Amino acid sequence: MGGRLPNGTSGEVYRATIVIRVQPEPRSAVVLSRIDAWPVNSAAAGLIHLNGRSERHGPTDKPFALASLTKPLFGLAVMVACEEGSLQLDAPAGPPGSTVRHLLSHASGLGPDKPEAIASPGTKRIYSNAGYETLGHVLEEATGMSAAQYFHEAVVLPLNLESTRLDGSPAYGAVASANDLLAVCSELFAPTLLASETIQEMTTGQFPELAGVLPGFGRQDPNLWGLGFELRGNKEPHWTSPLNSKFTYGHFGRAGTMFWIDPEAGLACVALTDREFGPWAVKAWPALSEAVLGKTSDSTLD
C-alpha cells in the first residue's frame, strides 16, 4: 500500500528503526553474580556505596538464618538502651569485674558456650556466645521487655527491616534478608538510630591489646574487636580480603553468612547463604571481597 512519508516524499513502506543501546552492567554487579558458582543451594549478595548506590544479586528479599551475624545487630539494640539510659556501657554485667563493654567485645572472660568464667575480665579475647546471652538477660532486666521485643522496637521498626526478627539467642538467633542487612549498612554509613559518636565507639578496638582465637581462622595477636563488630585490623588469615582496609568491620556467621563495611573504600558487602561455614567460605568470601573492591584481575576471581 502506497503512502506519503513524513518528509513529504512518496514510498511504498514507511518503517521506523529504533536502536536500543544496552548499557553494560556495573562491574561490581557482574562480580556479585559469581555467587551463582558457590557450592550452596541458595545465595544472595549485595553492595552498598557511601553515596547510597547499591547492586544486588539473587533472592535478596529472602530471609536467611544469620547465626553470629546476630551479634552486631543485637549490639545495636544494646547501644540504643545505653543511649536511652536503660543500660550503661561500663556498668557491671556478667562475671565479677566484667561490664557491658566487656560482654559486647568478648573480653568478659566467659567461655564460648557456658556462662562460666574461664579467665579474668579484660585478659583474653574469648569469643563467647554465652556473653551475648548474658547481655540478653541484662537487657531484659533493665528494660522489662524480652530481648526479642526490645530488639524489634529498638532496631527493626526504626530501620524498617521487613524480614528481620530475633528467634531465640541474642548470640545467633536472628533471621534477616540481604536487603535488610544492606539497610543496616546504609544506616552505619549515615547514622540516625544512634549518634555518630556511638557508632565510632562501636567500631573502635576495645581492649585492643588482647589476643585470642578468631573462629575458623586461628589465633590472632591482637584479635581486635569493637562493640558487637569484629575489626579487621591486620589479621591474617581473615574472611575478608587482604585488600580490605584495616578499618573494615563486620561479622560472619556459621550459617554461611557475612557482611563487612570498609569506611576507607566507602563500600559495604553482604553475602548470605544456606550452607554452613567451612573451607568453601574460607576461599570464596575473600575472593568475593577482593573482586568487589575492583583491585584484582578477572583471572583471580573464579
Question: What domains, with CATH codes, occur in the chain?
Answer: 25-296 (3.40.710.10)
pLDDT of residue 294: 83
pLDDT of residue 21: 40
pLDDT of residue 6: 41
- The mean pLDDT values, 10 residues at a time, for the chain of 302 residues are 42 38 54 96 97 96 98 98 98 98 98 97 98 98 98 98 97 98 98 98 98 97 98 97 97 98 98 98 97 60 37
Global confidence as pTM: 0.89
pLDDT of residue 9: 41
DSSP assignment of 90-123: TSB-SSTT-BHHHHHTT-S-B-SSSS-BSS-TTS
pLDDT of residue 26: 54
All residues at 6 or more sequence positions from 241 whose CB lies less than 8 Å from its CB, including other chains: 286, 287, 289, 290, 293
pLDDT of residue 15: 38
Q: Are 155 and 147 in contact (CB under 8 A)?
A: no
